[in-house]
C-alpha cells in the first residue's frame, strides 16, 4: 500500500514516544491540598477520602517532609477551626488555625511554597462563603460561645432557607482582611475561592496597601457549583447548614460565563486563574487558556479523588494508570498548575518514568 504519511512511525518504541511527546509534566507544577485542624497530636483519616488526613499543626510536618522528599514543594492550606461564628472571624484571626500553620511551616520548611485558600465557609457557623444578608453588621468575637452564636436552625428560621444569600460587598472586606492576615503570617500566595464579585480587586488593593505587593493571587475564577465537592465538605466541615451555593458559584451549564469571570479577575489583578473542578471541566481550561495570558491552574477535587480510590478498592480500575491519565489530561487541556490529592504519587511516578 502506498502511504507517505504513517503516524505510527513515531510510536515504535518508548524512547521515541517520549521524544515526540506533546505534553510533559514536572513535579514543580503540582500543588498538594492539606487540611490543618486545631488541636495537638492529630492525624485522622478522612472517611470519604481514604489515604487523606486532617493534621494538627504539630504533626503536619510529617506530610510536608514526605511531599518534599517526593519533589512536591507547593501546598495549599485549608483550615478547620474549633470555633465558628456567623462572620467567620476565625478566618482572619491573628492566631487562627491557618495563621499558626503558616508560621510553623515557615520556620520548619523554608523551602516549601505556602498557598492559602481564602474563603469563609470553613469558619462560618452557617457554612456559606461570606456574611449572610440580614445578619448582624457587628463581627462576633472569634471564640464566641455556642450559646451566643445561636444555632443554625435559628439562623435558617430568621433568614428563610430558601432565600439565603451572601452579602457580596460586605464579604469583600472580610476576604481582604483574611488575605492580609495570611500574608502577615507567611503565605507566599493567596487563593480566593469564595466566588464573590470583585474580591480579587479588593484583595489586591488590601495586600498592596499593607506592603505585600509581591504576594500573587491565584483566583478560583471559574468555580462551578459541583457535586464533586462532597468529600471535601466532609473533610473540612464546610457543608452549608441550609440552602446551597448556586447563587455565587457558577452554573455548570455555562461556558461563556466562565470566560467572563476569568477575564474580570485578570483585569482586577489575578496572577493565576483556576478552573475547578478539573476532570469534567477541562474544556474550560482550554477555552480560558486561549483568551488569557496568565498561567492556568485546575483543581482535581475531592470527588475525583474519592471516585478513583473507590474504583481501585473495588478492583474495577488500575489506580496508578488512572492517576497518570487524569493528570496528563489536565495538562494536555492547557493546565500549567495542577492541584491534586495525588500530588505525591504523581511526583513519584514522574521520578520513576511512568509519567512525564
Question: Is 276 annotated as catalytic?
Answer: yes
pLDDT of residue 84: 92
Question: Is 348 annotated as catalytic?
Answer: no
Low-confidence ranges of the chain (pLDDT < 70): 134-164, 236-243, 245
pLDDT in tens, 179-236: 999 999 999 999 999 999 999 999 999 999 999 999 999 999 999 999 999 887 777 6
Indicate which residue of 37, 100, 177, 223 is catalytic.
223
Angle at 297 between CA 292 and CA 300, to 5 degrees: 145
The distance between the two most distant Cα atoms of the chain, rounded to a whole number of Å, is 83
pLDDT of residue 315: 97
The contacts of residue 10 (CB under 8 Å, 6+ apart) are 16, 17, 20
pTM of the model: 0.89
> CB atoms < 10 A from the CB of 145, how many?
10
Indicate which residue of 37, 276, 309, 348 is catalytic.
276
End-to-end CA distance of the chain: 35
Residue 336 cell numbers, joined: 500549567
pLDDT of residue 158: 47
> CB atoms < 10 A from the CB of 184, how many?
15
Amino acid at each position: 500500500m502506498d502511504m507517505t504519511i504513517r503516524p505510527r512511525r513515531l510510536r515504535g518504541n518508548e524512547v521515541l514516544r517520549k521524544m515526540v511527546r506533546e505534553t510533559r509534566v514536572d513535579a514543580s507544577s503540582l500543588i498538594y491540598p492539606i487540611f490543618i485542624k486545631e488541636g495537638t497530636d492529630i492525624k485522622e483519616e478522612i472517611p470519604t477520602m481514604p489515604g487523606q488526613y486532617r493534621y494538627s499543626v504539630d504533626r503536619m510536618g510529617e506530610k510536608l517532609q514526605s511531599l518534599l522528599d517526593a519533589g512536591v514543594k507547593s501546598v495549599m492550606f485549608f483550615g478547620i477551626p474549633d470555633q465558628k461564628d456567623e462572620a467567620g472571624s476565625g478566618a482572619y484571626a491573628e492566631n487562627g488555625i491557618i495563621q499558626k500553620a503558616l508560621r510553623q511551616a515557615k520556620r520548619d520548611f523554608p523551602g516549601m511554597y505556602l498557598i492559602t485558600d481564602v474563603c469563609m465557609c470553613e469558619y462560618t457557623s452557617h457554612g456559606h462563603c461570606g456574611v449572610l444578608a440580614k445578619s448582624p453588621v457587628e463581627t462576633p468575637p472569634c471564640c464566641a460561645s455556642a450559646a451566643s452564636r445561636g444555632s443554625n436552625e435559628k439562623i435558617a428560621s430568621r433568614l428563610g432557607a430558601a432565600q439565603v444569600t451572601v452579602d457580596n460587598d460586605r464579604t469583600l472586606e472580610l476576604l481582604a482582611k483574611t488575605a492580609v492576615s495570611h500574608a502577615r503570617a507567611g503565605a507566599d500566595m493567596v487563593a480566593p475561592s469564595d466566588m464573590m464579585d470583585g474580591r480579587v480587586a479588593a484583595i489586591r488593593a488590601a495586600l498592596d496597601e499593607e506592603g505585600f505587593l509581591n504576594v500573587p493571587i491565584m483566583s478560583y475564577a471559574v468555580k462551578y457549583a459541583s457535586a464533586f465537592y462532597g468529600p471535601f465538605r466532609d473533610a473540612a466541615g464546610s457543608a452549608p447548614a441550609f440552602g446551597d451555593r448556586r447563587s455565587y458559584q457558577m452554573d455548570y451549564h455555562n461556558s461563556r460565563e466562565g470566560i467572563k469571570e476569568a477575564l474580570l479577575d485578570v483585569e482586577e489583578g489575578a496572577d493565576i486563574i483556576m478552573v475547578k473542578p478539573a476532570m469534567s471541566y477541562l474544556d474550560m481550561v482550554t477555552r480560558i487558556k486561549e483568551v488569557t495570558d496568565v498561567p492556568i491552574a485546575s483543581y482535581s477535587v475531592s470527588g475525583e479523588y474519592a471516585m478513583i480510590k473507590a474504583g481501585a478498592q473495588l478492583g474495577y480500575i488500575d489506580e496508578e494508570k488512572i492517576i497518570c491519565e487524569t493528570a496528563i489530561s489536565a495538562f494536555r487541556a492547557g493546565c500549567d498548575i495542577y492541584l491534586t490529592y495525588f500530588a505525591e504519587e504523581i511526583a513519584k511516578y514522574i521520578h520513576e518514568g511512568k509519567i512525564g
